C-alpha cells in the first residue's frame, strides 16, 4: 500500500521564517487501521530515504517513485518484513524546491541547511526512525563533485549558476524559476507538455557558499558519543565520489560502525547483483540495531 503525504516544515523550524510543505510517500506492506494522521502510532520500524542533489525521490504527479534507488530500497525493505509481525514502512520525500515540494521554496533559493531542516521535519513527523545516510566528511571538498568548473565560474561571475536537473516522465516543469536547455541561455518557451528529461535550473551561489564555509561539521556529527551505528557503503568504481572519501568518512566515525566496499560498483549501483549486496548489508545493519 502506498500513499502520498504532505509534511510541513513550520515557520519555527525554517530558517527563512516561512513554512513550506514537502511531498512524500509512505509505503507499507501491511493494512494499517486507524486515521492517516496517526502516523506515529502506525509503524514499528520506518526506513527513511533521503535523495541526492540534484535529484528527486517522489513523482510530483503520479503516485510513484521518481527514480530507481528508492523503488528498490522500498521493495527490499517491505519484502524483508513480510514474514514478521512488526509493522514497517518505507518513507521518502522531495526536498524543498524540488517539483512537488516547490510551492514555498524555489529551487533557485535552495541551501543545504534547508535540506537538513526538511530531513529533521520528516523525522519529527515520523517520530522514532532509523536514518542511514550517505555523505562526505568534508562538504568543502564535495563542492567539486556536485558542481563543474563552469558552474563554479558562473557563481563567481553572476552569483548563480545553471544546475542540471533530470525529470521523470510526466513531471511538470519546476515553478517560478529560470530554465535553460543548454546551461548557458535562459528559455521561456517550455511548457509541461514539452518538458525534456534534462534541463538546467538557476541556482543561487548561497548553496555553494554554504558548502564551502564548512559550517556543516560532519566530522563532529559522526564522531560524537552515544551515536547510532553507522553503515558506510561505497563502490570502488564510483566515478562521482572517489572511493577514498568513503574510507575517510568511515575512519572519522565513532564506533559502532561498518564499512562495506563493493568491488566494481559505480555511484548509483546500477548493477543489480551489486545493488542486492548493498541491500543485504542494509538489512543486516538495521536488524543489528534491534
Q: Tell me what pLDDT residue 125 has.
A: 84
Q: Tell me what pLDDT residue 290 has.
A: 62
pLDDT digits (tens, 9 = 90+) for 155-214: 999 999 999 999 999 998 888 899 999 999 999 888 888 889 999 999 999 999 998 988
3-class SS string, 138-153? CHHHHHHHHCCHHHHH
Which residues make Cβ contacts (< 8 Å) with residue 46, sequence separation at least 6? 88, 89, 90, 91, 126, 128, 129, 130
Domain residue spans of the chain? 2-138+215-289, 141-209
Distance in angstroms (rounded) separating the CA atoms of residues 254 and 43: 29
Locate 134 and state its grid cell.
550517505
Distance in angstroms (rounded) separating the CA atoms of residues 222 and 253: 5
Cα three-residue angle 95-97-99, rounded to 5 degrees = 85
Locate 41 and state its grid cell.
502510532
Q: Tell me what pLDDT residue 215 has.
A: 82
Low-confidence stretches of the chain (pLDDT beneath 70): 30-42, 127-136, 289-290
CATH topology of domain 2-138+215-289: Rossmann fold (3.40.50)
Nearest to 277 by CA among 209, 173, 264, 100: 264
Q: Phi/psi zone of residue 214: left (φ > 0), alpha (ψ -120 to 50 degrees), beta?
A: left
Locate 71 and state its grid cell.
523503488
Q: Phi/psi zone of residue 43: left (φ > 0), alpha (ψ -120 to 50 degrees), beta?
A: beta
Q: In the chain, which ranges are E strands?
A: 2-9, 20-27, 45-49, 88-93, 130-131, 160-166, 179-180, 186-187, 198-204, 230-235, 257-262
Locate 218 and state its grid cell.
560532519
pTM of the model: 0.83
CA torsion, ordered 218, 240, 72, 41, to nearest 10 deg: 20
Q: Tell me what pLDDT residue 30 has.
A: 56
Q: Tell me what pLDDT residue 151 has.
A: 97
- What are the DSSP calls for 107-138, one per residue? GGG--HHHHHHHHHHHHHHH-S-EE-----S-
Q: Tell me what pLDDT residue 135 has.
A: 64
Amino acid at each position: 500500500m502506498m500513499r502520498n503525504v504532505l509534511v510541513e516544515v513550520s515557520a519555527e523550524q525554517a530558517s527563512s521564517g516561512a513554512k513550506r510543505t514537502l511531498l512524500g510517500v509512505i509505503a507499507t506492506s501491511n493494512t494499517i487501521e486507524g486515521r492517516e494522521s496517526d502516523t506515529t502510532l502506525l509503524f514499528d520500524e520506518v526506513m527513511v530515504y533521503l535523495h541526492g542533489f540534484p535529484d528527486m525521490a517522489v513523482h510530483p504527479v503520479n503516485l510513484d517513485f521518481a527514480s530507481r534507488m528508492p523503488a528498490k530500497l522500498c521493495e527490499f525493505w517491505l519484502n524483508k518484513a513480510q514474514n514478521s509481525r512488526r509493522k514497517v514502512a518505507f518513507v521518502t520525500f522531495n526536498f524543498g524546491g524540488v517539483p512537488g515540494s516547490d510551492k514555498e521554496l524555489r529551487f533557485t533559493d535552495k541551501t543545504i541547511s534547508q535540506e537538513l531542516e526538511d530531513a529533521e521535519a520528516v523525522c519529527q513527523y515520523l517520530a522514532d526512525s532509523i536514518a542511514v545516510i550517505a555523505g562526505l566528511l568534508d562538504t568543502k571538498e564535495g563542492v567539486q563533485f556536485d558542481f563543474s568548473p563552469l558552474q563554479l565560474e558562473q557563481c563567481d561571475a553572476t552569483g548563480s549558476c545553471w544546475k542540471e536537473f533530470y525529470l521523470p516522465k510526466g513531471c511538470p516543469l519546476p515553478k517560478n524559476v529560470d530554465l535553460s536547455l543548454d546551461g548557458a541561455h535562459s528559455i521561456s518557451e517550455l511548457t509541461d507538455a514539452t518538458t525534456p528529461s534534462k534541463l538546467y535550473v538557476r541556482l543561487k551561489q548561497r548553496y555553494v557558499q554554504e558548502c564551502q564555509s564548512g559550517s556543516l561539521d560532519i566530522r563532529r556529527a559522526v564522531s560524537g558519543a552515544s551515536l547510532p551505528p553507522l553503515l558506510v557503503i561505497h563502490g570502488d568504481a564510483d566515478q562521482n565520489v572517489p572511493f577514498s572519501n568513503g574510507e575517510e568518512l568511515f575512519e572519522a566515525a565513532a564506533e559502532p560502525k561498518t564499512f562495506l566496499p563493493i568491488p566494481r560498483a559505480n555511484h548509483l549501483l546500477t548493477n543489480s547483483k551489486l545493488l542486492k549486496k548493498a541491500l543485504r548489508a542494509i538489512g543486516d545493519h538495521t536488524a543489528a540495531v534491534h
